[in-house]
Structure 1
Amino acid sequence: MKVLIIEDELPAARRIEQLIRQQRSNVEVLAVIDSISEAIKWFAQNEAPELILMDIHLADGLSFDIFHAIQIHSMVIFTTAYDQYAIRAFKVNSIDYLLKPIDAQELKNALDKYDQMRSNTQKFDYSIINDLFDNLKNRNFRERFLVKYGNAFTYIQAQDIRYCFAEDSLVFARVMDGKKYALDHTLEQLEQLLNPSHFFRINRKIVLHIDAVEKIHPYFNNRLKLELQPSPGFDILVSRERVQDFKNWIDQ
């Protein structure tokens, strides 16, 4: 099986290659490419692979732009560190995706799905990718949240939230003036409800707003340590698996 990996985060690319070799003894990784421009150049000079594992967010844009530039007939498994809701269409249209950090069992399931598609000679309609791209651009995100305040209810504006964090099995939002409110949502749900241009999940416990970030420091084990405003009173670390995506998010 000839495979092409399109991934701009080297540790993630290495993990994908390691896991896919563990799952398939006959795999041949043709190349590891880290940008849209390099991918377009590679396809112009090489025969198409049987399978592509493709990150959605690359250093020079969204990988959907590759499909706008050239025709691709290979099967594609997408990878992403972003929310699952926006790419739900892939689940029902014979193409799969993996949420970072890549799980070995999920990769196995995706490869099994690929094998089944090949045996059925099923083809994927890539117009779905264009529809998905439009959905990502036009999607409506939550503007307000109803919250309890003492014995009454009030609401907070999504734009005023500086970060959401999990604590003692609950999820709280801290707003600009430092007040903390309990939310009736999980962090996974908040990833889907909040605009990813403004909010980013840096680890399992925190989703933060870009305006909360005061300073960024290198930290042990290839992680980043953040200073936030208002201060949360505990260390804020970007997990190693999300560092490159966080940098891309900051730099967009």
Structure 2
Amino acid sequence: MNILLIEDERPAANRLKQLVLELLPGVNIYGNLDSITSAVAWLELHPAPDLIFCDIQLADGLSFEIFEMVRVSSPIIFTTAFDQYAIKAFKLNSVDYLLKPIDPKELAGAINKFKSQKIKTTIDLSQIKELLQPQQKEFKSRFMVKIGEKIQSILASEAAFFMSEERVTFLQTFEGKRYILDYTLDQLEEMLDPKKFFRLNRKYISSFEAIAEIHTYSNSRLKIKLANCSDNDILVSREKVGALKEWLDG
């Protein structure tokens, strides 16, 4: 039995080779091939192997390009560092995918599937590529706040800035109204659209429209004046100045 290994990380390749040999002693393992170019060259010059183990991300691109350049009829088990959700989606294409680091039990299951069904791979490249594309992140569009005994919804677009004071987080609107939130600034930084909000420092996240003035300050820092904010010492560190300028210019 001949197996071809396509993997650009040497430690991962060595581990996979060892695991395969434990499960299939006596097989011939060719490779390791670490790029699209080397894989295409090998497949054009050699008979089709009985099975291919192929990493998705190679040094010179996604391995799917291999199968656009050369006809491959061998069953393929892809290895990938993508999350479990993607793995389950990939399995719908009747191709096995293993999540790195390779789990020996998962590998044994994939090999047993190969041995029992002798799968001939049918790769829907367009569908798999679509699954691999970064999904557009959903950002928080509103916040539920408590006002006395009432619960009210405040749109994220109404927020001028967010601030942390004595371990309490506030949302302040452009009208100057302030509400307590049940989130930390670190949590909010992940929830908010980075095109609209910027983390100025450990105490403030500001919208673009709330920045009233910007002044140079000592040690290559910037001092920010926010609309309807009494804090006159909002400083942006030297390390963040470049990112802030890029954000403002975006």
Provide the TM-score with structure 2 as the length reference.
Answer: 0.58
- Show the counterpart of 1:86: 86
Map 1:76-225 to 2 at 5 A.
76-118=76-118, 122-126=119-123, 128-137=124-133, 140-145=135-140, 149=169, 151-152=180-181, 156-157=191-192, 159=194, 177-178=201-202
Instruction: Work out whether 1:34 is the aligned partner of 2:34.
Output: yes
Tell me if the contact between 2:87 and 2:99 (Cα under 8 Å) persists in the aligned partners.
Answer: no
Summarize the Cα distance change of 1:176–1:113 in structure 2 as closer, same or farther, 3 Å threshold.
Answer: farther
Identity over aligned residues, as a percent? Answer: 40
Question: CA–CA distance in 1 between the matches of 2:94 and 2:88?
Answer: 11
Identify the range of structure 1 (37-46 vs 79-88) with the bigger mean alpha-carbon deviation: 79-88
Residues 94 and 144 (structure 1), Cα distance of their counterparts in 2 relative to 1, 3 Å cut: same
- CA deviations 1:180-238 (Å, max 9, x no partner) are 9xxxxxxxxxxxxxxxxxxxxxxxxxxxxxxxxxxxxxxxxxxxxxxxx79xxxxxxxx
In 1, Cα distance between equivalents of 2:20 and 2:122: 25
Q: How far apart, CA to CA, are the structure 2 residues paired with 1:136 and 1:78?
A: 13
From the superposition, tell whether residues 90 and 136 of structure 1 become closer, same or farther in structure 2 (CA, over 3 Å): closer
CA separation of 1:153 and 1:92: change in aligned 2, threshold 3 A: same
Deviation (angstroms), 1:81: 1.4
Cα RMSD (Å): 2.9
1:83-103 CA deviation, whole Å, 9 max, x = no partner?
233343331232111111111
Distance 1:101 1:147 in 2: 39
Supply the distance in 2 between the matched residues of 1:79 and 1:60 (Cα, whole angstroms). Answer: 16
Larger radius of gyration: 2
- 2: CA distance, partners of 1:44 / 1:135: 28
Distance 1:60 1:117, change over 3 A: same
**1:144 aligns to what SS in structure 2?**
coil
Q: Judge conservation of contact 2:87–2:98 (CA < 8 Å) in 1.
A: no
Whether contact under 8 Å (1:147, 1:153) holds in the other structure is no
User: Distance in 2 between the 1:39 and 1:93 partners?
Assistant: 22
Q: Distance in 2 between matches of 1:7 and 1:176?
A: 42
- How many residues are treated as equivalent by the alignment? 165
Q: CA deviation at 1:71?
A: 0.9
CA distance in 1, matches of 2:136, 2:83: 12
Displacement after TM superposition at 1:158 (Å): 5.4
1:129 partner amino acid = L
* Partner of residue 20, structure 2: 20
CA distance in 2, matches of 1:26, 1:83: 32
> In 1, Cα distance between the equivalents of 2:108 and 2:31?
21
Relative contact order (C-alpha < 8 Å, sep 6+): which is higher?
Answer: 1
| CA distance, structure 1, for counterparts of residue 105 and residue 203 of structure 2 | 41
| Comparing 52-61 and 83-92, the one that deviates more | 83-92
Comparing 24-33 with 141-150, greater Cα deviation is found at 141-150
Q: Is the contact made by 1:87 and 1:132 (CA closer than 8 Å) also made in structure 2?
A: no
Give the corresponding residue for 2:59. Answer: 59
CA distance in 2, matches of 1:60, 1:176: 37
**Which residues of structure 1 form unaligned runs of 5+?**
161-174, 181-228, 231-252
Q: CA deviation at 1:26?
A: 3.1
CA distance in 2 between partners of 1:18 and 1:123 (Å):
25
CA contact (8 A) 1:64 1:130 kept: no
Q: TM-score, normalised by structure 1?
A: 0.57
Q: Is there any run of 5+ residues in structure 2 with no aligned partner, and where?
A: 145-168, 171-179, 205-238, 241-250
